[in-house]
Amino acid sequence: MTMRHAWMALALLMTATHAHAQATAPVASLDRSRVGNGETVTLNIEVGDDDLGNPDLSPLGTDFIVLGTSTNHTLSIVNGKREAHTILGVALRPKHEGQLTVPALSIGNQATQPLPLTVEATSSASADAANQPIVLDGKVDPAQGYVGQQFDYTLRLYFAVNLADGQLGDPSAEGAEIRRLGSDANYQSVRGGRRFNVVERHYAIIPQHPGTLQIKPPAFQGTAVDPTDVNSFFGAGQPVNAVAQPEHVEVKARPSSAPDGAWLPARSLTLSLTGFPADGKARVGQPITLGMRLDATGLPFEALPALSLPKLDGADVYPDKAVTGSSTNGPWITGRREQGFAVVPTRTGTLHIPETTLHWWNVTTDKAETATIPARDITVGPGSGVQAAVPATSASVAVAPATTTAPPVATTVTLQAGTPWRLIAAAVAALWLLTVGAWILWARRRRGGAATVPPPMPAEATRQGPAREHFSQALERGDLVRAEHALLAWARQARPGLRNLGELSAALRPGRQPDAIDALQRARFSNGTADAADLRAAFKNGFDWRPVEGPCGTGGGLPPLYPR
């Protein structure tokens, strides 16, 4: 017993260790990789949905002063999948200049990666700027790149006076898209031995044409007040202003070595496809919901291509509405595009989903790369409850009276291949009426002139009214979901074993009704509209069922006695 408990404890320990190893590792990044001596840099630590606790910041004390921390939580639910992220911001001031390294920080049982940081000496321009009460500084990173690539423009307002008000403008650049990112950061910095309050702002600049891009400098206008001056309480402040220096960026055209297709200059890019059955199996007519996701850092979602599946042999594909959005990770945009697909197998066998590839250009390594979704195979079995088709051969079926007390009246009908089913149904109905009439006449004579008994209505005919009415009402309202449910409920009155529209379509004769069901599913999964008049007309006379096999397995069968 003791050995058994030991093995159980070991198994639990291994399970817990494995589960913890699967937790998403924290990711660290700096808002910029090059700063001046005395300036502040922000360390961003992103963790996933796992609660790993607070990081140990003590290793930072060697080369940095920790000025403060901030936390930002985000939660999103996409296609029923919950995604939570937490970003911890740590404001750091380097203690000295040179090539520094932000050390790895421990969070729980995991750690961030170390990051390099270049701290430059204070320039003469900074020393000169220390004599001014207001300084506006703008820098662009990188200094050169490609058309369509995101450049980070960092704007910093330094002020060593008390501001009563102020307006900070935005940069502009002809032939480029400019977006302001996130919210302003506030901290302090030392320039030329003088301490300044700093307001830092980031912009994403995306050039649309190759060539030299000139970034026109923004300006600041405000009013400075002196707390010791009594006149300042009556609005007698001093106007102050500052203008940043212009910046230039060399924008290169798309390289000739770039692959054909969409031009995607990004810092990183991932492509994934989820939703495959866990056992790798599916059934005919039952949809498989797949989700494709594309994430690209350094590109907004508008620049990402539409997602699609390759053409599938043996399945119909119905795309859902795309979900898009952009977020920021430090100074960089991360574009996201998600696309759902309803894949409906149409035959048994192996459903092969080919490999999906997307070519992009890594602006960090300046090389072409490829994101790949590997090929997958799904084994497709027959749909449940599907009736087998009847061969077109002649057959004989005997129709017996409804009660065993009636006289032995029987009829025999011979079917020929290609005979119109409506004529056959009419003939069978007439023979059935003759049988009922004979039964009524026999009952009258037996009871000596009893009252006439009306022919009994079939159970299916008496129940079909409400279901058919619900189907028509759903079509009038344009409610495709309720129309699908009402149509299936109506069909189940005759075939209780039907579980979905795929099985219903397989149980009907090829022609207008299966086509109508296919149109309904296409509109249903594509968020489109269906022609209510066509759907109503297709099922105006009820269901056109396939013949079923006879009791002896001869393949002979009759259409329903009461075609609707």
- Under DSSP, is residue 420 helix (H, G, I), strand (E, B) or coil? coil
Residues forming a β-bridge with 294 = 271, 337
State how far Cα 61 lies from the chain centre.
43
Give residue 186's pLDDT band: very low, low, confident or very high (50, 70, 90): confident
pLDDT mean across residues, the chain: 78
Going 495 to 497 to 498 to 503, the CA torsion angle's sign is negative
Top CATH class of 25-120 equals: mainly beta
Rounded mean pLDDT, 470-494:
83
- Domain ranges within the chain, ordered by starting residue: 25-120, 126-252, 266-381, 395-564
* pLDDT of 282 over the 80 cut: yes
Give me the pLDDT at residue 91, please.
82
Give residue 1's pLDDT band: very low, low, confident or very high (50, 70, 90): very low
264 residue type, one letter = L
Cis peptide before 142 (omega within 30 of 0): yes
Q: Contact 335/300 with Cβ under 8 angstroms?
A: yes
Residue 319 DSSP class? E
Neighbouring CB atoms inside 10 A of 56's CB total 11
Q: Contact 210/104 with Cβ under 8 angstroms?
A: no
Report which of residues 485 and 103 the model is more confident about.
Answer: 103
266-381 belongs to CATH 2.60.40: yes
> Which residues, in sequence order, are CB contacts of 325 under 8 Å at separation 6+?
301, 335, 336
In angstroms, the CA 47 to CA 25 distance is: 7
Report which of residues 444 and 389 the model is more confident about.
Answer: 444
- Under DSSP, is residue 308 helix (H, G, I), strand (E, B) or coil? coil
Give me the pLDDT at residue 231, please.
59
Q: Which of 65-74, 269-278, 287-296, 552-561 has the lowest mean pLDDT?
A: 552-561
pLDDT tens profile 28-46: 888 777 777 767 788 888 8
Nearest to 164 by CA among 110, 225, 105: 225
pLDDT tens profile 327-341: 987 789 999 999 999
> Nearest 5 degrees, angle CA 249-CA 251-CA 252?
150
Q: What would the DSSP string read from start to end of 285-301? A: T--EEEEEEEEEETB-G
Give me the pLDDT at residue 120, please.
80
pLDDT tens profile 335-359: 999 999 999 999 999 999 999 999 9
Residue where the block lists tokens 């500052």: 242
The continuous run of DSSP H or E covering 435 comes out as helix 421-447
Check if 25-120 and 266-381 are the same fold.
Answer: yes
The continuous run of DSSP H or E covering 165 comes out as strand 162-168
* CATH number of this structure's domain 126-252: 2.60.40
Rounded to whole angstroms, what are the CA distances from 415 to 217, 285, 389, 548, 560? 89, 31, 16, 14, 14
Q: Contact 244/154 with Cβ under 8 angstroms?
A: no
Give residue 156's pLDDT band: very low, low, confident or very high (50, 70, 90): very high
Nearest to 92 by CA among 54, 63, 72: 63
Nearest to 454 by CA among 443, 442, 465, 440: 440
